[in-house]
Amino acid sequence: MSDISTIQKNSLWLFLGKLFLLLIGIFLNAWIARYLNPEFYGFYSLALNFVAFFSVFASLGLDVLMIRELSKNWTLSSKYLSIIIRLKILLSFFSILLAIILVFLLPYSHSLKLAISIFSLSILFTSLDTTFITVFLIKSINRITVIGDVISKSFYAVLVILFISIGGGYLWLIVASLFALLVKLIYDFWYFTKYVHLNLNYFDKKDLIYIIKKSFPLFIISILSLIYFRIDIIMLSFLADINSVGFYSASFKLSEFFHLIPGILFSAMLPFLVTYSEKNKSRLIKSINLSLKYLSILSFPIVIGTVILSSEIINLIYGSSYTTSSISLSLLISTIIFVFFNYSFANGLFVLNNEKYITKVALSAVLFNIITNFIFIPLYSYNGAALTTLFTEILIFLFYFRKLSKSFKLSFIFLPKLIFCTILMGILTLFLDRLNLFFVFNIIFSAVFYMVFIFVLKIIDKEDMSRFFYIFKR
């Protein structure tokens, strides 16, 4: 199968699956937030984010390393994966123990400590499952991952409906999340064994040292990235109150869903980018530039439309109890443009083996994020945390752009026309909003208007689309 067919097929499966997960996720998250109210939704969100902090210790950057190493030489899969799985199990138990010890040292409520302790088991489930998913990604069989995600999310939805119907608290919803992850792990493991023959008796000290040495910089990057991405919720729980965590989490969840878009694109592209970095740098440059263009086309209208309609979106999804989250939603959704750019930049730097630079940027982002959170959260509460997130993404963008522009000839010739298109769409969206048109219809009309002008101004056309897929030919 050619690269073009493979990427199109994988992207289609990923898009359809992630679209389903996005819709179900928004629905379930809104229902849970409405059911729990801001205070208990804050407890629920804090438990999930607290555990997420420790999950990175169980991965050690091994998944990203696998993509790079096994995409080049799949014959090493049995040896490397046998070592990696045992290493992940050991690291997972260490991470679980560390999370439980730390949470009981903090001044959290008993129910929150119990919730975090129970959900810490997800560290083991997630760590092993990402190993299986990485293999499916390398072998270009994302269909398996998507089906597993759909089964897991459906199972979770059933449990949420059941537990809410019997009046269960947020602890019950934590248990539902844990069981859904277990279902996903079992499903993915079943298919994983069909593609990889594990020899858990295999051990080679040189291979172990090589894997740890190569993955450690990626591990540091993962830790730093997770800190600046999640620390705001933890800091809010100490510098503000639990209601602020609930309000912030409501807007954060909505903006976080859009991170799936670049994730879908680069899940399909990354193994090929690794190959291009070795054999065809011109094709690598074209790939990065086209990803910048198409992610920009998607991100600009999302940001403008959401900022204009933020109050209506919050009220419809979460209800009037969360109305004050509209400002933080506007700030967080504004990060999407920079998040999308940073996905492209980070992948470009990664395949060019610039992990040290990425680490320096991540460390700078963490320090900046923590310092500004200490400044803005006491002043503006959860809106201050959102503002800090926006500033942090802009800082990362500036660092990445400066570095990558020295290796690549980055092309932004599409930006003037795209900005003009986005402004026109924003004016229409604002006008229809002033007419009190139901915001769902407003979104539809504005989106159609935007796409028409995208083609009228020839920002994209048929030839452009053909060239996008042509670059993936070997």
**Tokens representing residue 355 in the block:** 């992990």
Instruction: Give the C-alpha separation, 421 to 90, whole Å.
Output: 52
Band (328; pLDDT cuts 50, 70, 90) = very high
Contacts of 239 (CB under 8 A, 6+ apart): 373, 374, 377, 378
Residue 16: predicted pLDDT: 66
Tell me what pLDDT residue 307 has. 94
Is residue 445 one of the residues assigned to a domain? no
| Residue 60 CB neighbours (<10 A) | 22
Identify whether the C-beta of residue 243 lies closer than 8 Å to the C-beta of residue 42: yes
Mean pLDDT for the stretch of residues 79-97: 89
pLDDT of residue 474: 40
Residue 141: the pLDDT is: 73
Q: Could you read off the pLDDT of 270-315 as tens digits, one per residue? A: 666 766 766 667 777 887 888 888 889 999 999 999 999 999 999 9
Return the structure tokens found at 92.
């997972």
Q: What is the reported pLDDT for 205?
A: 81
Pick 200 or 35 by higher pLDDT: 35
Q: How far apart are CA 249 and CA 322, in angstroms?
A: 10
Count the Cβ atoms, other than its own, within 10 Å of residue 155: 18
**The two structure tokens encoding residue 51:** 């555990």
In a domain, 264, yes or no: yes
**What domain count does the chain have?**
1
- How far apart, in whole angstroms, are the C-alpha atoms of residue 352 and residue 273? 10
pLDDT digits (tens, 9 = 90+) for 104-127: 999 888 999 999 999 999 999 999
Residues in CB range of 375: below 8 A, 6 or more apart: 384
Q: Phi, psi at residue 167, to the nearest 5°?
A: 80, 25
Q: According to the model, what pLDDT value does residue 1 have?
A: 44
- pLDDT given for residue 181 in this prediction: 94
Neighbour-count burial of 280, counting CB atoms closer than 10 A to its CB (0-12 exposed, 13-18 middle, 19+ buried): middle
Q: Could you tell me how far CA 173 lies from the centroid of its own chain?
A: 21
When pLDDT is averaged across residues 237-247 and rounded to a whole number, the result is 89
Q: What is the pTM of this model?
A: 0.78
CB 251 within 8 A of CB 397: no
Residue 408 has pLDDT above 70, yes or no: yes
What's the pLDDT tens digit per position in 350-395?
877 787 888 889 889 999 999 999 999 999 999 999 999 999 999 9
Q: Give per-residue pLDDT as tens, 31-79.
A: 898 898 888 888 998 899 899 888 888 877 788 778 777 767 777 777 8
Classify residue 107 by its DSSP letter.
Answer: -
Q: With cut-offs at 50, 70 and 90, classify the pLDDT of residue 164.
A: very high
Residue 425 domain flag = no
Q: What is the mean pLDDT of residues 317-339?
A: 92
Q: Flag whether 437 is in a domain.
A: no
| Amino acid type, 423 | I
Domain-embedded: residue 427: no
The secondary structure element, H or E, covering residue 57 is none
Is the residue at 423 inside a domain?
Answer: no
* Closest to 157 in 3D by CA, of 20, 18, 313, 315: 20
Q: What is the DSSP string of 412-424?
A: -TTHHHHHHHHHH
Domain that holds residue 158: 3-414+459-470
Q: Does residue 55 lie within any of the structural domains?
A: yes
Burial class from Cβ neighbours inside 10 Å (0-12, 13-18, 19+) for residue 188 reads buried
Give the pLDDT score at 473: 44
